[in-house]
Structure formats: structure tokens, C-alpha cells
Structure 1
Amino acid sequence: MAGTGSNGRTSVLRIALLAAGISTMAVGLSACQSDPDIDITAYAASIDPADQLYNEGLANIQAGNLTEASRKFEAIDKQHPYSEYSRKAMVMNAFVQYRQGQNQEAINAARRFINLYPNDPDAAYAQYIIGLAYFKQIPSVTRDQSPAVRAMRAMQEVVDRYPDSEYVEDAEAKIRAARDQIAGKEMQIGRYYLERKEYVAAVNRFRSVVETYPNTRQVEEALARLVESYYAMGLTSEAQTAAAVLGHNFPDSQWYADSYKLLQTGGLEPRENTGSWISRAGKTLIGA
């Protein structure tokens, strides 16, 4: 018979194997369709409604079960993506993560929400959560203040982008606190240089506080340290100007009393040189 060589036998074998494979697949599909564990109808029925999951998440927050609350909100995001409840759950999950101390996760979740829904009414809250998460990471003044800078910028976004939101007042308060922390770090470094008689480096730090962070609690000491630094350098006019600006803004301050006494040891007294950078900066201070 024609076509009964080795090639013919191979072709017949391949066809037989393919037919066997198709038959096996059909049996497998039939088995899958009868398997209740993956039945599509049963699977759909097992999914909880979005509103139910959301309310359960809120209830768990009220009960203090934050981990379970997070699971509920994540289930909404997975099972009901792009729904109204999915948007709300995304923000609430960011809040829960923040409450749990999972700051970077909270930041990531809030940013994802803002990227997906920049015009949503809850976008202001999401941005506020970012600021809170950074603010919570601010360390002591002796350590790097990068989190304070990030917190300040994040909260400024709340103020600038959502000026009518209910979070603006607290955002502004936290901006002031973060600025004070950053200024405090500058003061710490300035004092370090001053103790080592590196006066130029010290002046640069104290000047940064006066010019960049004028409305912080640190500016009072910064002016006094400028008096001390300039006096040690022999730049008496600058020392007198710093003392005069300090006295004008903080007349009852112990820092002013100490600065006045220091000048008196050299037969000097506070006197403002209006051409000095200190005089110009003084017009923006708290007590100006």
C-alpha cells in the first residue's frame, strides 16, 4: 500500500496521539465543569457584595481590628475593582495602614489613589494621609530631617491643591512644626561649629535659620548665637545689629539679656546697621 513507509507510520502515530490528547482534554474539561470547587456560578455567589465588605471594614476599624479591616478593604479592591466602593476602600486602607504604623505602605496606597482619581473628593484626604505618614516618621532633631522635609512638602500640597478642604488647618500646623524641626537641626549643627570655634561655618547655619525659617521658635536663639559668633570674630557691627534685632523682636528674652551682657564686656551696646543682612531679615521675624 502506498504511504506505508516509516514517514507514513510516523504521521499516523502523530494523528493518533493528537486525537488521544483532544480526547483527554475533553474529559478534563468535562471534569472541570462538574467540579463544584471551581464552578463559575458557585464562585460568583461566594463573592461578598462590595457594600457589605466596606461596612465590615468600617466595623473592624471601630472595634480596633485594623488587620481584619485592611483585609476587607483589599478584598473590595480585588473583587470589585473600579467600583465606587473600591475607590473608598483604597483610601480607607491607606488610613488603616497609617494607623498600623505601616507608613510607606500608606503613602504608596494614597499615591495610587491620587494617581487613579486625582479629581475625586477624597483626593484631599489621601494627600493628607501622605503628609501624616511622613510626619509620623520625623525623628529627633539630632538625626537626619529628610522626613520633616517630605512631611512639609506633602502638607503644603494639601494647602495648595485643596485650599477649601477640612484638612488645611491641621496641615498648616504640621508645616510649622516640620519647619521648626528642620530649623532645630540647623541650630544643632551651628552650635557644633560654634563650640569648635569654626565661626564662619556656625554663622552660615544661624543665618540660614534667620533667613529661611524666620517664623520658628529657633530664630530667637539663632540671633543670640550670631551675636556670639560675630563678636568672637571681631565683627562688632554685625554683632551689635544681631543684638538690636533680637531686642526689637524679643525684648524680654533671656537670649537678649545674655547678648546685651556680652556686648557690654567690650564696651558695646546693641545698635542696628540698616545695611546689614540681619537688619533686612529682621523685618520678617515673628515679633517684627
Structure 2
Amino acid sequence: MQNRRFIGILFSVLVVVFSSCSDFTRLQKKGTDDEKYKAAVNYYKKGDWYRSGILFEELIPVLKGSTESEMAQFYYAYTQYHQKLYSVSAQLFKRFYETFARSDYAQEAMYMYAYSLYKDTPNYNLDQSNTVVAMSALQDFINAYPESPFRQECTGMILDLRKKLERKAYERAKLYYKTSGFNIASYKSSVVAINNFQKEFPDSEYNEELAYLKVDAQYSLAKNSLETKQKERYQEAVEAYQALIDKYPNSKFLRTAEKMYETSLKEIDRIAAQEKEKEKLKTPDPNRPAKVTSAN
């Protein structure tokens, strides 16, 4: 009995689905532009973004120059947005506000262009080119409409995207540090990446850890360098340690960093003593008798 009831319900659903598909196909093939436009709007209001989008896409070229053209393009952009086709919706919203600059919907379209780009940004561990573009679009909107009700949301999104760039830069700096043991170039890249991060994100929560990693990278770089470059690089390790304790006097990394600092000072003194000894050997002893040469 229950199986029959289920089959009956399933059959009814299939009839409705096939009938609906048949009506939509018939509308596409034989419907007038006016019928298609009304149906597209009706599908839009029902949240049937796929069918609404198909009809609006077909209508836009033939509606060009008509009173319905503006709304058809605006609705079409939203159908793509609601289907999470954010890169497509971004371009459609951009085209709308550029084409209909005086439209009552131009401000909303510009916002939705930026918001679509925001939604399309990748995770922090992927390429962040789209994130930079989205931040620029959001800032452009704020500049164009400083009194907009969307202003605060845009500011929040910019901060959110900046956090993503911050995390990407942090992970990149750490990656160089993790691979530093393989070659001198990696040590150098690690130091450069950390310096760049500290300049770009001076208030980041990651800066304490990176300040310590910079000490470690500078120290390791000095230790693995040619003797002619060690003194200068140990001095840079000392400076990195001093920068760490100046900014983070109670850092949890101080004990480990202090060992590298003390070793660096000892190495600087050792190298300075060697240099002094070499200078002595180069300087003639004034008390030493002059060399006498016999005449032939």
C-alpha cells in the first residue's frame, strides 16, 4: 500500500516536471518576445534563476534599445549571481553600470560588481590576483558613492580581503624559512619576505613570530656563509635580535633567540680578533733589522 502511494506521488511529480519542461521548451521555440520577457520575470520572482537566465540571455540582443532592455540586463546579472557564477555576474554588473550610468540601479550594479568579485576570491593559499582586483573594485565603489548604505559593508570586505593577503604573505615567509636549510638563497629569500611582510603589515598578529624567525634566518645565514661575509651577517642577526626585544620584550621566543644573539656576538669577536691578527702580520716590525743584501 505504501509502495503504491509512493509510486503515485512520484508519477505526479514527474508529470509536473515534464509538463513544465515541455511548456518552457515550447515558450523558447514559439513564444513571442513579450511572452518570453513576462515569463523570464515570472521565473525570476519565483527564484528559478536557471530558466529566467536562459530567457533573459536570449532576449537581451533583441530588446536592445527598448524600455525592457535595462531591466533584462539587470535581472540577467542577478540570475548568474544567484547561481554562484560570480565571475560571470561581475562582468554583467560592470557592463550594466557602464551602459546605464544614469540608471536608478547603477549604484547597486557597481556594488554587485565589487561584491561578485569579493565572492569569487580564492582561499589564501592560492594566487591572490583576484583578491587585489576585488579590493580595488570595493574601494572604487566607496570613492564613487561615499554616502552609500553599502559603504560600511565594503569597508568590512576590504579588511577581510586584506587579512587574506596578510595570511598569504605570512605563509610565504614561513615557507621560505622552512626551506632555508637547503641553500643560502632560501635564507636570503626568507629574510626579504619577512622584511616585506613587516613593512606591509606592521600591526599584524604574526609579526612577533616572524621577528623571531628573522633572527633565526639571519643567524643561520651567517653561520653558513663564506668567512668573508660572516661578520656582517652575524651583525645583522644581532640587529634582528635587538629589534625583537625592543618590540616584544616579553616574547615567548626570547630564550631561544638570546642563544643565537650570544653566539653571534662571540663570532663577531672571534672574527674581529682574526682580522686584527692578519693586520699584524701585514705590518712590518719597526724593531726588526733591515734585510742586508750583498753586492756581487
What TM-score, normalized to structure 2?
0.61
Instruction: Indicate how the Cα distance of structure 1 residues 82 and 139 shifts in structure 2: closer, same or farther if over 3 A, else same.
Output: same
Q: How far apart are residue 159 of structure 1 and its match?
A: 1.5
- Measure the CA separation in 2 of the matches of 1:221 and 1:95: 44
- Measure the CA separation in 1 of the matches of 2:60 and 2:72: 7
Q: Give 5+ residue unaligned stretches, structure 1.
A: 1-44, 269-288
Check the 8 A contact 1:131/1:154 in 2, yes or no: yes
Q: How far apart are residue 177 of structure 1 and its match?
A: 1.6
Query: 1:236-266 CA deviation, whole Å, 9 max, x = no partner?
Result: 123221342245xxx6xxxx322x2223335
Residue 241, structure 1, aligned to residue 243, structure 2: yes
**1:261 aligned to which of 237, 255, 259:** 255
Residue 111, structure 1, aligned to residue 94, structure 2: yes
Residue 189, structure 1, aligned to residue 172, structure 2: yes
Residue 163, structure 1, aligned to residue 157, structure 2: no
- Measure the CA separation in 1 of the matches of 2:168 and 2:102: 37
Match of 1:12 in 2: none
**1:142 aligned to which of 125, 134, 140:** 125
Range 160-169 or range 51-60, more displaced:
51-60
- Measure the CA separation in 2 of the matches of 1:245 and 1:84: 63
**2:199 aligned to which of 207, 211, 215:** 211
Q: Which amino acid aligns with 1:101?
A: K
1:32-51 correspondence runs (5 A):
46-48=32-34
**1:86 aligned to which of 66, 69, 74:** 69
Instruction: Indicate how the Cα distance of structure 1 residues 244 and 69 shifts in structure 2: closer, same or farther if over 3 A, else same.
Output: farther
- Measure the CA separation in 1 of the matches of 2:64 and 2:143: 30
- Measure the CA separation in 1 of the matches of 2:127 and 2:108: 27
Q: How far apart are residue 231 of structure 1 and its match?
A: 4.6
Residue 225, structure 1, aligned to residue 213, structure 2: yes
Q: Which amino acid aligns with 2:132?
A: V
Q: How far apart are residue 196 of structure 1 and its match?
A: 2.5
Instruction: Indicate how the Cα distance of structure 1 residues 122 and 226 shifts in structure 2: closer, same or farther if over 3 A, else same.
Output: farther
Question: How many residue pairs were aligned?
Answer: 213
Query: 1:59-116 CA deviation, whole Å, 9 max, x = no partner?
Result: 122xxx1112324544663454445553234233222212212222212211211211
Check the 8 A contact 2:191/2:214 in 1, yes or no: yes
Instruction: Indicate how the Cα distance of structure 1 residues 46 and 130 shifts in structure 2: closer, same or farther if over 3 A, else same.
Output: closer
- Measure the CA separation in 2 of the matches of 1:82 and 1:215: 52
Q: Which amino acid aligns with 1:245?
A: K
Q: How far apart are residue 123 of structure 1 and its match?
A: 2.5
RMSD: 3.0
- Measure the CA separation in 2 of the matches of 1:187 and 1:146: 16
- Measure the CA separation in 1 of the matches of 2:124 and 2:204: 14
1:7-86 correspondence runs (5 A):
46-48=32-34, 52=38, 55-61=41-47, 65-71=48-54, 73-74=56-57, 77-78=60-61, 80-82=63-65, 85-86=68-69
Range 79-88 or range 197-206, more displaced:
79-88
Identical pairs, percent: 19
Match of 1:128 in 2: 111
Instruction: Indicate how the Cα distance of structure 1 residues 85 and 206 shifts in structure 2: closer, same or farther if over 3 A, else same.
Output: farther
**1:172 aligned to which of 155, 174, 195:** 155
Q: Which amino acid aligns with 1:203?
A: V
- Measure the CA separation in 2 of the matches of 1:202 and 1:185: 14
What TM-score, normalized to structure 1?
0.62
- Measure the CA separation in 1 of the matches of 2:141 and 2:50: 28
- Measure the CA separation in 2 of the matches of 1:52 and 1:88: 12
Check the 8 A contact 1:206/1:222 in 2, yes or no: yes
